[in-house]
A and B are shown apart, each in its own frame.
Chain A
């Protein structure tokens, strides 16, 4: 299975909104509503911030939102803050019962 495709980096200024894309195939992202997003700070453990495409676990800011269209999922962060600077990874369940991650996106807050 191939890793999901994410942009290597995105950037935005405080207060702006940014969107990170995650492109897969009909065998993963497009096949189920089981896309998750993780946030990882340098040297830290990943933390999931979105599950089932668009659901936020308790405690995660509503500035984070997820969506999906066809084989591409997206994470949008609105009202960008300095603390949002981190690496972001998407993941998806696949039609063969496995899990696949994206390559990761480094978010820089200018």
Chain B
């Protein structure tokens, strides 16, 4: 059974870089052509897609965040990562990692999801 787990600092200072890692277990990122993604949810707000990465490394970003976001994959560690630069309080959110459901399709819904990790931006 595929499982995803986010990890990283829960507190980041304004103007610094938010870095999160998603560790995948129960399956190999490199062995199947899936897309993997990051989604966030600000407290009491809706879901926002941050971006997705193909197992080969091709990336697709939310245009509103594109200038600050980098998503990368490390197949040797079976992980993919998120870096969000120059954060402000508006970036405070629960950050989820997830996989697009069907092989080779980022048009697919996300399933499964990690449990999410709260990142607070504050000095």
- Interface residues, chain A, with chain B CB atoms under 8 Å away: 1, 3, 32, 34, 36, 38, 45-48, 51, 57, 89, 91, 93, 96-104
B60–A101 CB distance below 8 A: no
Q: Contacts A45-B96, A45-B113, A45-B116: A32 and B107 contacting too (C-beta < 8 A)?
A: yes
Interface residue tally of chain B, by bracket? Answer: 20 to 34
A45–B115 CB distance below 8 A: yes
A34–B46 CB distance below 8 A: no
Q: Contacts A32-B107, A51-B109, A93-B106: A46 and B47 contacting too (C-beta < 8 A)?
A: yes
B109–A38 CB distance below 8 A: yes
A47 / chain B contacts, CB cutoff of 8 Å: 111
A48–B62 CB distance below 8 A: no
Q: Is B5 an interface residue (CB 8 A)?
A: no
For A103, give its contact among B37, B46, B63, B108 (CB under 8 Å).
B46
Q: Is B30 an interface residue (CB 8 A)?
A: no
